[in-house]
Amino acid sequence: MILSIRQVVKKYSDHLALDHIDLEIPRAKIFGLLGPNGAGKTSLIRIINQITAPDSGQIIFDGEPLSPKHVDHIGYLPEERGLYKKMKVGEQLLYLAQLKGMSKSEAISKLKDWFIRLDIKDWWNKPVDDLSKGMQQKTQFIATVVHEPKLLILDEPFSGFDPINANMLKDEILAIKERGTTILFSTHRMETVEELCDEIALINHSRVVLAGEKTEVQNRYKQNIFKIRYLGDLPADLKGMEVLSVNGQSATLKMDVSIRSNKAISEIISHVDLLEFQEIIPSFNDIFIQVVKETNAYE
């Protein structure tokens, strides 16, 4: 584990932002931190970045209790992000890299690599004021990763990115993961969660309401619903399953918990010519909405 969060509590004067949060974030994985607005994601991220301190609880980073020396091993891209407008791109990145503990020469050589990699070689002396929004986002991303952190925290990294830059960012995130960096990903865009994350945790009302490995979580929420395509007439009563809907030569079936798919298939092929048989995996969007609704109902 790169990061273990144990029983972390954070109170603000008017509300409880984090209520005994426990999370284990494994090394070299992309970990999705999900939750509606105001659930406590940003509070938790700020605690990991040591911008604020928890009221109680413990955080273990790379085997040691989290302490100020660790800020150099964490990279953070906040949701609301900006740059010094009057500074030049190169100077600014050099400054930010040095603030993360890099030496000047090291920072220059790494930055040059990034400038080549993202194809922005001629930006070094441009003032930030002259950059388009997409260019500024690239600059901010470099600032977040140039010191090669062990843990990269990205808060809604895709917001405001055009599709081309979003793809570039996705590729870079995956490449960084390949190099052994752990990525903590805070978002409420479920399609990116499905695409990128290995593990997720869902926070609602200051508590972790769902956590686990991505496919395991999906399995937990699957409802034994299958989609079939076939030739022939499908009878309304199939043994061990219920026909939810029929649409021409395809249908949606819900199986009894006891029936196994092999048995179901043999039941179906005894009536029709089966062309396709596919389990419907619940989308994270559905899981998200379902879990948030359930936990809201408890409140």
Partner 1 sequence: MHMNKILLIIQREYITRVLKKSFWISSLLAPVLITAIYAIPIWLAMKDKEVKRVEILDSSGLWKKSDLVDKELEFVFTSGKEQELKMAFASKGFDAFVSIPEDVLANPKGVHIYSAKNIGMSLKQSVEKLIQNKVRQELLLKAGISSQIYESTQVDIDSKTITVSTDGKETSSSSGGAMILAGIMGFVLYITLLLYGSQVMNGVIEEKSSRIIEVIISSVKPYQLLLGKIIGVGLVGLTQFLLWIVLTIGLTQITGKFYGEKVKNNLAQIQKIDSEKQSDVISKVDEESPMSEVSKVLESTNIPMIIAAFLFYFFVGYMLYSSLFAAIGSAVESATEAQQFTFIVMVPIILSFLMAQYTIQDPDSNIAFWASMIPFTSPINMMVRLPYGVPGWELILSMTLLVLGFLGCSWVSARIYRVGILMYGKKVTWKELGKWLFYRG
Residues that bind partner 1 (CB under 8 A): 13, 46, 49-55, 68-69, 71-72, 74, 76-78, 80-87, 95-96, 98-101, 140, 143-144
Nearer to partner 1, 131 or 228 (CB): 131
CB of 62 to partner 1, least distance (A): 17
CB of 259 to partner 1, least distance (A): 53
Provide the sign of the torsion angle of the four alpha carbons 226, 228, 214, 185, taken in this order: negative
Provide the sign of the torsion angle of the four alpha carbons 160, 165, 166, 168, taken in this order: negative
CB of 82 to partner 1, least distance (A): 3
Nearer to partner 1, 61 or 76 (CB): 76
Contact by Cβ (8 Å): 254, 277: no
Tell me the HSE value of 62 on the side-chain side, using a 13 A CA sphere.
Answer: 14
Contacts of 12 (CB under 8 A, 6+ apart): none
Nearer to partner 1, 77 or 193 (CB): 77
Interatomic CA distance for residues 181 and 204, integer angstroms: 27
Nearer to partner 1, 50 or 249 (CB): 50
Nearer to partner 1, 96 or 201 (CB): 96
CB of 20 to partner 1, least distance (A): 17
Mapped onto helix, strand or coil, the DSSP state of residue 82 is coil
Task: Identify residue 135 by its one-letter amino acid code.
Answer: M
Q: Any idea how long the chain is?
A: 299
CB of 197 to partner 1, least distance (A): 22
Picking from 25, 131, 137, the residue whose alpha carbon sits closest to that of residue 79 is 137
CB of 71 to partner 1, least distance (A): 6
> Kindly report the CA angle at 169 between 159 and 142, in degrees rounded to 5?
95
Q: 118: which 2 tokens?
A: 């993202």
Phi-psi region of 129 (alpha: psi -120 to 50; beta: other; left: phi over 0): alpha
Contact by Cβ (8 Å): 23, 186: no
Nearer to partner 1, 33 or 291 (CB): 33
Interatomic CA distance for residues 136 and 162, integer angstroms: 12
CB of 96 to partner 1, least distance (A): 7
Nearer to partner 1, 57 or 212 (CB): 57
